[in-house]
Amino acid sequence: MRILSGIQPSGKLHLGNYFGMMKPALELQRRGEAFLFIANYHALTTVTDAAELRAATHDVALDFLACGLDPDRTVFYRQSDVPEVQELTWLLSVITPMGLLERCHSYKDKLARGIPPNHGLFAYPVLMAADILAMQTNVVPVGRDQKQHVEVTRDIALKFNNQYGPVFTVPEPMIRDEVAVVPGLDGQKMSKSYGNTIEIFGPPAEVRAKIMRIVTDSKTMADPKDPETCNVFALYRLFATEAERAAMAARYRAGGLGYGEVKKALAEKVAAHFAPLRQRREELARDPEFVTEALRRGGERARTEARRTLAKARQAVGLE
């Protein structure tokens, strides 16, 4: 089973990235043939500073390697190191119906957030389809709110295969229902777009200060509280054991527990969880050649796969 996932280098990675994409992606190393790419082409739709993009791409690579990505088991690469994806994007573009792209939620959501419309934003799903199809991917892990991305890729692959023959593997979404939406400081989904994130490798004092600012309701310490509606508990449960979650939930319901105490407990959990990963990241940062070499080898392996797929697609449409 070939599994593919990608992440944009559009800012510092945060707890939402870690639990929503990174941790599940790292677990997939043991379940199949894993491909993981840093989507720096995609990031160009929002990142316009070249130095910022280079630094963010390097940081994402460091973060993944520090968190346990094994470049010998996972094909880890920069999207830009596989230029065949761009030619494949054009071959897919000419058979993609406009209506399919007009119905995509991501484009509408970005416009609603004030991002200026351009062709890159509109055609984003076709590039995403090329990323997936170039590697003949069987499975794409996504949250339920991202399922449409894979559905669009499936539609494009089926249309191409029906028109030109069986060139592409039609991927299936792997829905991660077990991963809840990670709330940010304001209770909305944690996202760089909302400015409500807690960085996984931010300065410890800053991480703690952010946790202490998480929005809660106005109940007093004496009041019983519902852990299922609390933003702090939603984050605490991601780090706690089952027994710890049950004990904390019971204290919520009994009353006599202040939100400040829970925030301090959460801050301790976050610090303890990421301390060894932070140390590993610092070690890797002192060895930039390791990161560069890991991405280079991953890029070569990914490009070999993409070349095979592109050759089949070019032959099918009559370019060869």
Q: Please state which CATH class domain 2-181+288-317 belongs to.
A: alpha beta
Residue 176's pLDDT is: 67
Q: 192-282: which CATH architecture?
A: Orthogonal Bundle (1.10)
Per-residue pLDDT reduced to its tens digit, 250-289: 999 999 999 999 999 999 999 999 999 999 999 999 999 9
Given the residues 12, 23, 159, 189, select the one marked as catalytic: 189
User: In the chain, which residues have pLDDT < 50?
Assistant: none
Instruction: Check 110, 210, 225, 263 and give the catalytic one.
Output: 110
Residue 180: per-residue pLDDT: 59
pLDDT at 79: 98
- Tell me the CB-side half-sphere exposure of residue 237, using CA atoms within 13 A: 21
Q: What is the 3-state secondary structure (H, E, C) of 211-269?
A: HCCCCCCCCCCCCCCCHHHCHHHHHHHHHCCHHHHHHHHHHHHHCCCCHHHHHHHHHHH
Domain limits, CATH 1.10.240.10, in the chain: 192-282
Q: Which pLDDT score is estimated for 194?
A: 85
Quote the CA–CA distance of 163 and 160 in Å, as a whole number.
5
From-to residues of CATH 3.40.50.620 in the chain: 2-181+288-317
Rounded to two decimals, what is the model's pTM? 0.90
What would the pLDDT profile of 131-156 be if each residue is shown by its tens digit?
999 999 999 988 776 788 899 999 99
Based on the residue annotation, tell me whether 192 is a catalytic residue of this protein.
yes
Residue 212 has a pLDDT of: 98
Active site residue 189: yes
